[in-house]
Structure 1
């Protein structure tokens, strides 16, 4: 009976994780749409403020209890990594990179998440798991280095830092989801940032905000609702059910979906090198899944 429950939970974890990854896949193209017309700082603040107000409303409607004192620090780490760190650094990076180029860096997220899962979550994947995970990450790093002068070192560094902070936020949130609940974790993380984000929203609001096009507002709406809130509900639940390191490898699919969206909606060029790297990291999913436990 226990084995069946464990197997069912694992399957549910993969399903919820896949939905989360699918929603996250539109984040970089949508962020690119927003930062083309608004500053990266304002985009980061606005998405956190909008999602924070939504999260606070949901928490009040369901009359959720406040987090315990011991849960505040992990929630702050989630807020630093997922609410502020990744959105701000990736938005700044997109001033120097195309969304297609930045998406390739997301292939390193599974490794970052797995490492933090070991450090903070106490997980112990099989040694072969690390081999496949590292190979996937090396493919991504190798691609970035091969771009040489045509790419932006500043943009690459910003994306690398963004991935590290995001991995930390994912692992902390997944660990906390087991006791606090998936949607509650991201909701409280957003609420913790709200007292800072609301004043900053008005301070950094563009002077000519009425000139922002529908495309810009569409990008802002997507990252505020799906990337910042709804996607995390499925993602944290999936990580908690199936394991941080295991389900975290689904992020290797994110570049594939993201590149397709960048090509379709932003008309960005997707090179054979990008596709090759993306296919390579996707193939690593099979290996990491098999040796995750």
Structure 2
């Protein structure tokens, strides 16, 4: 009579991981598209400041329409500060820093720096949600992050063991993203996930709109650059977060964040047809090793904190 009493309890976790993967796949196009939009030192397109602020302004307009169409309630008083911190991380920090850096590095190289993001997101998520990942979980996260950092150093083109200034900007961007993901994931547990990013964009709109206006490009911008701008505005800055924050809410920030370990290698795959960049055997080997840490880490226990 109680055959269904033991129905699978991991269905939300699994859905969360799949939604997280969908969000990561959308985000994986961000670096190649950003490279197209800002150009190179020898062939500049739009500025990094305009790309970051302009894409947020466009996404904010879409967000206002979406919030009105779905009759979204106003955030509670306690939600405004987390929304502001989410906005600071994913609307300002990450887009601005990556947009500036991407003019000076190739997408294949820059994408591997994203490999430190899962560990940073897991750390922020564990602190915010009172979760206690096991030692095995942290070992897998650290191993995956170490692999992608080693890959970045081996492919920095200079032969030394120092990260370039653009790499430091990208690492700072990862810290901003981790904070935005952590607070956004926390808000998604009590708000609709799609409403979280919409409100974060609306909060930033009084700054992003005039900022985009003041940094509007005056030179000739190619159609490809405008197309890349449209992608990062609609998908990277908006729709991707619908899936990502919902995945974090269902599967837990600490665990779902590890799906981001595949993002660098998806970005590389996209960079080949979009930018004509190349992937060698070492890239494939590192990719297989990093992806393996995702699946091993998924099996490791993540315990709730004493206050939960």
* Cα distance in 2 between the residues matched to 1:78 and 1:112: 15
Deviates more, 1:266-275 or 1:237-246: 266-275
* Structure exhibiting the larger radius of gyration computed from Cα positions: 2
1:269 aligned counterpart, secondary structure: coil
Alignment match, 1:164: 175
Q: 1:259 to 1:44 in 2, by over 3 A?
A: same
- Deviations along 1:121-153, one digit per CA (max 9) or x if unpaired, are 212111100001001111122223333626861
For the 8 Å contact 2:185–2:253, the answer to whether it is kept is: yes
For 2:273, which of 254, 264, 270 is the aligned residue?
Answer: 264
Greater share of helix: 1
Q: Structure 1 unaligned runs (5+)?
A: none
Post-superposition CA distance 1:74-107 (Å, at most 9, x none): 1111101111111111111112210111100111
The 4+ residue runs of structure 1 with deviation greater than 4 A are none
Match for 1:200 among 211, 227, 251?
Answer: 211
TM-score of the superposed pair, with normalisation by structure 1: 0.95
**Using the alignment, how far apart are the partners of 2:273 and 2:79 within structure 1?**
41
The Cα offsets for residues 226-260 of structure 1, whole Å up to 9 and x where unpaired, read as: 10010000000011001111111111111121111
Structure 2 unaligned blocks of 5 or more: 40-44, 303-308
Structure 2 equivalent of residue 113 of structure 1: 121
* Residue 174 of structure 1, CA deviation: 0.6
**Comparing 283-292 with 227-236, which one deviates more in the overlay?**
283-292
Measured in 2, the distance between the counterparts of 1:175 and 1:2 equals 30
Following TM superposition, by how much is the alpha carbon of 1:5 offset from its aligned partner in structure 2, in angstroms? 6.4
CA distance in 2, matches of 1:12, 1:62: 23
CA RMSD of aligned residues (A): 1.6
CA contact (8 A) 1:109 1:251 kept: yes
Shift of 1:271: 3.5
Q: Is the 8 A contact 1:177 1:240 kept in 2?
A: yes
Return the alpha-carbon distance in structure 1 between the equivalents of residues 209 and 131 of structure 2.
37
